[in-house]
Amino acid sequence: MKLIVAIVQDQDVNALMDALTEKKYRVTKLSSTGGFLKSGNTTLLIGVEDDKVNEVKELVDHNCKTREITTSLLTVTMPGDTFVPYPLEVKVGGATLFVLNVDEFLRV
Ligand code: 2BA
């Protein structure tokens, strides 16, 4: 068995969760925050049999889009200690996946 940890953009979560639950996958949704942009994203925990990993990857691929985001995350210091927001183009997603081996799965 595998545990798929999928970090996805908030905009894609509902469509992805609908697609997963329609195929009878069990999913846990966690609110999370990206360390770089410091803005919200969503982490899904999906426990699956080994032979289902590829189907889950395909559903993620189908439902999660790459987006270009312009952020003023960085600031540059100007003479006189003025901070000027520095626009930064960042490409986010479609999704970041970790596929982990599960030693034991229990539902009690
Ligand atoms: P964030 O950390 O907010 O990162 C958002 C996007 O910013 C990333 O998109 C990437 O394009 C860029 N980015 C991140 N760190 C960077 C850095 N040190 N320098 C330059 N650009 C950087 P994605 O790669 O698609 O990642 C989307 C979200 O997935 C991340 O949000 C983070 O929450 C998670 N993530 C990505 N890789 C991870 C990893 N190796 N471990 C844990 N979480 C990860």
By most ligand atoms within 8 Å of CB, the mutation choice from 31, 61, 72, 92 for ligand 1 is 92
pLDDT number for residue 38: 87
pLDDT number for residue 80: 67
Q: What is the pLDDT of residues 40-98, one digit of tens each?
A: 999 999 999 999 999 999 999 999 999 998 887 666 666 666 666 677 888 998 999 99
Q: Whose CA is nearest to atom 13 of ligand 1?
A: 36
Which residue, chain included where needed, has tokens 């068995």? 1
Cα 36 to ligand 1 centre (Å): 6
Asked if residue 3 has pLDDT above 70, the reply is yes
Task: Enter the tokens of residue 75.
Answer: 């600031």
Helices (H), the chain: 10-22, 53-63
Residue from 81, 69, 15, 11 nearest 40 by CA: 11
SS3 of 18, please?
helix
Task: Enter the tokens of residue 41.
Answer: 């994203």
Ligand 1, residue 41: give the atom nearest the CA.
33
Asked if residue 15 has pLDDT above 80, the reply is yes
